[in-house]
Amino acid sequence: MIAVDWGTSSLRAYRLDAAGHVLAQRSTPAALLACQGRFEAVLAEQIDGWNDPHIVMAGMIGSRNGWREVPYVACPAGADAIAAGMLAFEAPALPGRQLFIAPGMSDRAAHGAPEVMRGEETQVLGLLDELQGSGPHTLCLPGTHSKWITVEHGRITRLHTAMTGELYALLTQHSLLGALMDKEAGDDEAAFARGLETSRGSGGLPNQLFSVRTLGLFGELSGAAAPSYLSGLLVGHELNGLAPATGTVHLIGSAALTRRYERALAARGLQAIAHAEALTARGLHRLALARGLVD
């Protein structure tokens, strides 16, 4: 089979054997919007020479702005329910193939707003074999929109989102705070820790954000340290609202981000276990098994 992770920034394709092992992989910066609707042609170019009969895709390719919109599957749900929600179709440029798009997931507390994700659920499914016991297990996928996911008995039961990465980008690039920063500066662990500590104080985030400016004005925070301090503030507030009080958090993401979250969680007395983010192919293989596409 062919597994495809197609999001807003890139397309990653994996050719898998029947057991789910990666035989070959390819990637392209053919982001969702950059395709300009040429989804079929872009995919055909990317998997040229791979003649496997089943192509299973996940990510924003199934969103309203994607190739085909696929309705969300509601929490709680495991691989069987998510696989049943996959959309099957054919494409003229890929004759003799069956194409599937995973549905993504939604969640809604009794008195809360809806939560959604597309693509992250396949990473979670790819991690299930490494989660010991029935749970509950807490997973965090840090990024532009960080996802906090609860898994119990092999099913995704709860979902929450924090727009931490997007807020960081907006504040560093389009606010007065960004004018004080050296945006090319590397990770400053001490400044990040200071931001984390500040996030646990009084005033709330809107008030504490102003400290990025005032500490700089009074010479107590350098332009090189300011980005890490801001990151600590934002990550700290994310943890204030969404991290468990005790236990272990499984992190899925890039090495740079997971290291930062490991430090933040350790400062709260929480254990963190980091996992590589290339779990999508494994999760899509699990969906293919549940749908009966592979033996």
CA atoms within a 13 Å half-sphere pointing along the CA-CB vector of 122 = 32
Residue 33 has pLDDT above 90, yes or no: no
Pairing of strands 11-16, 2-6: antiparallel
pTM for this entry = 0.94
In DSSP terms, 11 is beta-bridged to: 6, 28
Predicted pLDDT at 293: 94
Q: Which carries the bigger pLDDT value, residue 187 or residue 30?
A: 187
Predicted pLDDT at 98: 97
What string of DSSP letters covers 260-276?
A: HHHHHHHHTT-EEEEE-
* DSSP alpha helix (H) spans, 176-279: 189-199, 204-217, 226-242, 255-267
The C-alpha atoms of residue 63 and residue 154 are separated, in whole angstroms, by 25
Residue 9 has pLDDT above 90, yes or no: no
Average confidence score pLDDT of the chain: 95
The C-alpha atoms of residue 20 and residue 283 are separated, in whole angstroms, by 9
